[in-house]
Amino acid sequence: MSRSFFEFGLSLGVDRDSELCNPAVRLLGHVALDLAQPKAALEAYNETLAACLKLVSANDPTIANVYDSIACAFTEMGDEVQALEILEKAVAIHQANDPTRMARTNAILAMTYLRAGNAEQALQTIQDCWRLQGLTKDQLEKSRYPKHSGDIVLLSRIRHLQGDRDSALELASKSIIMRKGMFGAKGPRVADSMYHVAKMLADGGKIASATKLLRDIVEMSPGLIEMRGHHARALWTMARLETGVASPDEIQKLQQEAQKIRSSIECRETEDVDTDEDFAKLVGWMLW
């Protein structure tokens, strides 16, 4: 719905490069990231960058903010090297202006380091992000600001990569409560937190509990366009977890339903390959 709104507005003969309309182009990128379409997001962010460079100098913090978005798209695409190169530019701009205003840059750096498998660097940069905001982990857990729930998810995944599974599971479970308090009982971010908890439970051998959470995601998904990726991913993962437990016919039914829902996702950027990795790509790697 939000994408259609912005696309309609930008189609009305307006100057997309103008100071008034260009932010809407960037918001289209944000929507695309939420829909697991990082290539479309990158296109929107590059258009935003080109327009911003006509309005402000290349050293303006506004440009650093757009670099953050571009780096986020590259990280979602799995190109951490390119993302880090872009983030270096953002850091340089902030250092030349006001280093205390680079909390968002640090958050995206942390995400990028995590995807690159560098848990220690990811932890350091997300803590730097909080320090610049004058926040502690305890304060974040009590926050009503939506992005802070994403920080808790990120920290959970860092802890999981470090091998601290108990802390990771506790944090991921906390993020479900936070997100339900902010977004209600349903929706992409609630489902995403539930999925991460399910994965951690499965990794710990608690298959029944993991499957129940995945089934809850499936049950909250029908009728919500923005949930189709979550729906298909949950079904496919359920099929894998229940292999050897459920009957072959039941497993096949789950897989076929996952494939059917995947085929209904418009503008998807993934190939229709039947693997865990490819179904995972139907949802953004990190939802803030």
- Tell me the pLDDT band of 244, cut-offs 50, 70 and 90: confident
Q: Which two tokens stand for residue 19?
A: 């100071």
pLDDT of 37 > 50? The answer is yes
Average pLDDT over residues 44-69: 95
Q: What number of residues does the chain have?
A: 288
Interval 111-157: pLDDT, tens? 999 999 999 999 999 999 999 999 999 999 999 999 999 999 999 99
Query: How many C-beta atoms surround the C-beta of residue 245 within 10 A?
Result: 11
Q: Is the pLDDT of residue 173 over 90?
A: yes
Whether 72 has a pLDDT exceeding 60, the answer reads yes
Q: At 7, is the pLDDT very low, low, confident or very high (cuts 50, 70, 90)?
A: low
pLDDT the model gives residue 24: 76
Residue 235 CA to residue 54 CA, distance in Å, equals 47
Query: What pLDDT, on a 0 to 100 scale, did the predictor assign at position 1?
Result: 47
**pLDDT score recorded for residue 8:** 46
Q: What is the mean pLDDT of residues 175-188?
A: 96
| pLDDT higher than 50, residue 186 | yes
Rounded mean pLDDT of the chain?
93
Place of tokens 């190109």: 79
Q: What is the pLDDT of residue 226?
A: 92
Per-residue pLDDT for 18 more than 70? no
At residue 2 the predicted structure's pLDDT band, cuts being 50, 70 and 90, is low
76-101 confidence digits (pLDDT tens): 999 999 999 999 999 999 999 999 99
**Banded model confidence at residue 12, pLDDT cuts 50, 70, 90:** very low
Return the closest-CA partner of residue 83 out of 32, 133, 118, 34: 118
pLDDT of residue 26: 83
